[in-house]
Amino acid sequence: MAKVTIKNGTPIGTESLCSRCVHGHRQKGFRESEELVFCTYVWDATRLVPFKVAECTSYCERDSMSIQQMREMALIINTSPTLKPAGFKFSDERVAVNSGETTIK
Looking at every residue in the chain, the average pLDDT score rounds to: 79
The string of pLDDT tens digits covering residues 33-77 is 888 999 988 877 888 999 888 888 888 888 888 888 888 888 888
Among 25, 28, 27, which Cα is nearest to 47's?
Answer: 25
Tell me the pTM: 0.50
The pLDDT, as a whole number, for residue 77 is 83
Contact 18, 61 (CB under 8 A): no
Q: Mean of the pLDDT values across residues 87-91?
A: 71
Contacts 24+ apart (CB under 8 A), 44-49: 49/16, 49/18, 49/24
Contact 21, 56 (CB under 8 A): yes
